[in-house]
Amino acid sequence: MIQIQIWGDFECPFSYLQTLVLLKLKDKYGDAIEIIWRAFELNPDKQVMTPTPEYLENLQAASQELIAAQAHLKLISPKYLTNIRLAQESVYFADVQGLSLKMAIALFDAFFNREIDISKEEEILKIADRLGLNSDALNVAWRDGKLTSKVILDEQEFRTYGFQGVPAMLIGEKDFSPRSFTPVIGYKTPDELDLIISKVL
């Protein structure tokens, strides 16, 4: 089995597109590949930021990608960017029920297509409810610090592998050490990523 680990941020448009690409390839390969979400925060400080010109350029570039059109994404320009650690933690919570990628896509959709502030607990809990997750249990999990520790560990590993931005991926045989995995930096189209996967299979 091929394992694909993806580091992404829910306010990063290309992280959104890359996750959609992975789901598309999951449909193709089925149980031959496993996708693991890894957390990263572009804005780790708990302050509100206005989008930079570079961010807006990336958003515009993402909107031109074919998969954005195929998925009918709005990719609305956000008024501000916030810290999304609770959103990242909620994906780890969802993973217990095998819903990590569905939670990730729901968070991306909320931010980019529906202008929802995914830094707010109440908004994340609504999303969790819609996916059938126990929002009360998620609320409790936020308080005990274990989910926070997972996010911090992901970000430490991100730096250990020398990644500089998201999306970033590691691709390799599931039972092998991640040190043997192929690093993939930056957004890859379905065809590009399919070629990389086919070389590993």
Residue-wise pLDDT for 88-106, tens only, equals 999 999 999 999 999 999 9
Three-state SS at 3: strand
User: What are the beta bridge partners of residue 171?
Assistant: 4, 182
Q: By C-alpha distance, which of 105, 108, 110, 106 is closest to 22?
A: 105
Per-residue pLDDT, 35: 96
Supply the pTM of this predicted model: 0.96
Would you give the distance in Å from CA 52 to the centre of its chain? 21
CATH numbers and ranges of domains, the chain: 2-200 (3.40.30.10)
Mean pLDDT, range 163-183, rounded to an integer: 91
In angstroms, the CA 30 to CA 185 distance is 24
pLDDT tens across 110-167, in order?
A: 999 999 999 999 999 999 999 999 999 999 999 999 999 999 999 999 999 999 999 9
Q: Is the per-residue pLDDT at 178 higher than 80? A: no
Q: Which residues pair with 173 in a beta bridge?
A: 2
Give pLDDT, residue 176. 85
